[in-house]
């Protein structure tokens, strides 16, 4: 396959940011982030975006998937038994050899699942995760492109159930780690979020959200309270902070606190 020519991608990055998608640069023909903290550096700030792409004008575009969306990633190279024709017409990207089909979902706790053999070669990317956006160059030299520009359709019930995360046991026995000290530790970490310097705000926020996720699973803190306190502490725009907070809480909740710390 002949590689696509290099393309200035700044206008596309600015366009995504204007629609509320936090973006970050990725190296051409690669999925590797360009900046130090990768997707944690994602932003909608036009000045930062112009600075990045002025320095790296041909870089691809990584974006943070909106929380209420998910992507069905179909890869025929892995013997996918599903194609976009099997799904409702929805916002779709042609990737290096398959498709990304964007959907809205009703707040399901979604995860990669291998429980349904019909979905061989199909992954699900939940909201808050990083995604490669057109017109980035895939490592194989093919350019990502939008093939269907419909608004995201509702996620079909059958595929949502196939990817729904099994209910996790709630680890409420925290032994000598009483809620008071844990909450005090959380408040100390919130102060770190508030004091984080520009360029380090996303990473600090995600780390503290990860810690808070463990508190939620341990029954020390509600998810709503954790989100509210994290949003109040950060100086990031709410739209930008939301994906970082939700992702950190989700990943932290998967590793509950115990008397010996995280397992």
- The secondary structure of 230-245 as a DSSP string is HHHH--S-HHHHHHHH
Q: Please give the mean pLDDT across all residues of the chain.
A: 81
Examine the pLDDT at 258 and tell me if it is beyond 80: no
Instruction: Work out the pLDDT band at 118, boundaries 50, 70, 90.
Output: low
Angle between helix 179-195 and helix 201-217 axes, rounded to 10 deg: 170
* Mean predicted confidence (pLDDT) in 32-37: 86
Q: What is the pLDDT of residues 122-177, one digit of tens each?
A: 888 887 788 999 999 998 889 999 999 999 999 988 887 777 665 544 444 444 44
Examine the pLDDT at 260 and tell me if it is beyond 50: no
In this predicted structure, which of 48-62, 116-130, 241-255 has the lowest mean pLDDT? 116-130
Name residues whose C-beta falls within 8 Å of residue 225's C-beta, 6 or more positions apart in sequence: none
Domain boundaries of the chain, sorted by first residue = 10-163, 179-262
In this predicted structure, what is the pLDDT of residue 106? 64
């Amino acid at each position: 396959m002949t590689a696509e020519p290099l393309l200035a991608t700044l206008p596309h990055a600015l366009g995504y940011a204007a629609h509320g998608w936090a973006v970050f640069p990725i190296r051409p023909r690669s999925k590797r982030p360009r900046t130090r903290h990768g997707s944690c550096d994602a932003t909608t700030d036009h000045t930062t975006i112009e600075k990045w792409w002025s320095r790296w004008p041909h870089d691809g575009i990584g974006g943070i998937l909106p929380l209420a969306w998910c992507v069905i990633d179909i890869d025929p190279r892995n013997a996918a038994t599903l194609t976009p024709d099997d799904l409702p017409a929805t916002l779709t990207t042609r990737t290096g050899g398959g498709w990304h089909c964007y959907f809205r979902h009703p707040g399901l706790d979604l995860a990669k699942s291998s429980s349904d053999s019909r979905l061989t070669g199909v992954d699900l990317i939940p909201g808050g995760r990083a995604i490669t956006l057109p017109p980035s160059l895939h490592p194989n030299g093919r350019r990502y492109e939008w093939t269907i520009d419909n608004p995201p359709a509702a996620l079909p019930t059958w595929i949502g159930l196939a990817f729904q995360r099994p209910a996790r046991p709630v680890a409420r026995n925290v032994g000598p780690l009483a809620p008071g000290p844990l909450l005090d530790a959380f408040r100390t970490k919130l102060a770190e979020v508030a004091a984080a310097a520009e360029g380090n705000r996303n990473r600090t926020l995600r780390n503290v959200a990860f810690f808070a996720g463990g508190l939620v699973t341990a029954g020390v803190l509600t998810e709503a309270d954790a989100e509210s306190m994290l949003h109040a502490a950060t100086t990031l725009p709410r739209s930008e902070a939301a994906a970082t907070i939700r992702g950190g809480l989700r990943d932290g909740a998967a590793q509950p606190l115990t008397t010996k710390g995280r397992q």
